[in-house]
Amino acid sequence: MEPRGRLVVMISGFGSNLQAILDACREGRLWAEVVLVVSNRKDAYGLIRAARAGVPTLYFPLRPYRERGLDRIAYDRDLADQIASYRPDLIVLAGWMHILSSAFLDRFPGRVINLHPALPGMFPGRDAIRRAFEAYRRGEISCSGCMVHYVTPEVDVGPVLVQAVVPLYPEDTLERFEARMHEAEHRILLEGIQRALERIRTVSS
Ligand code: GRF
The topology (CATH level 3) of 5-204 is Rossmann fold (3.40.50)
Radius of gyration over alpha carbons of the chain, in Å? 17
CA 70-75-76 angle, to 5 degrees, is: 140
Q: What is the distance between the alpha carbons of residues 184 and 56, in angstroms, rounded to a whole number?
A: 27
Of all atoms in ligand 1, which is nearest to the CA of residue 14?
12
pLDDT in single tens digits along all 205 residues of the chain: 789 999 999 999 999 999 999 999 999 999 999 999 999 999 999 999 999 999 999 999 999 999 999 999 999 999 999 999 999 999 999 999 999 999 999 999 999 999 999 999 999 999 999 999 999 999 999 999 999 999 998 887 899 999 999 999 999 999 999 999 999 999 999 999 999 999 999 987 7
- CA 21 to centroid of chain Cα atoms: 11
Q: Which of 164, 80, 87, 86 is nearest to 120 (CA)?
A: 164
The residue whose CA has the least distance to atom 10 of ligand 1 is 95
| Domain-wise residue ranges, the chain | 5-204
Q: Rounded to 5 degrees, what are φ and ψ at 99?
A: -80, 125
Which residues does a 6 A CB cutoff place in the pocket of ligand 1?
11, 13-18, 94-95, 115-117, 185
Number of Cα atoms under 13 Å in the Cβ half of residue 139 = 0
CA angle 28, 95, 197 (to 5 degrees): 40
Q: pTM of the prediction? A: 0.96
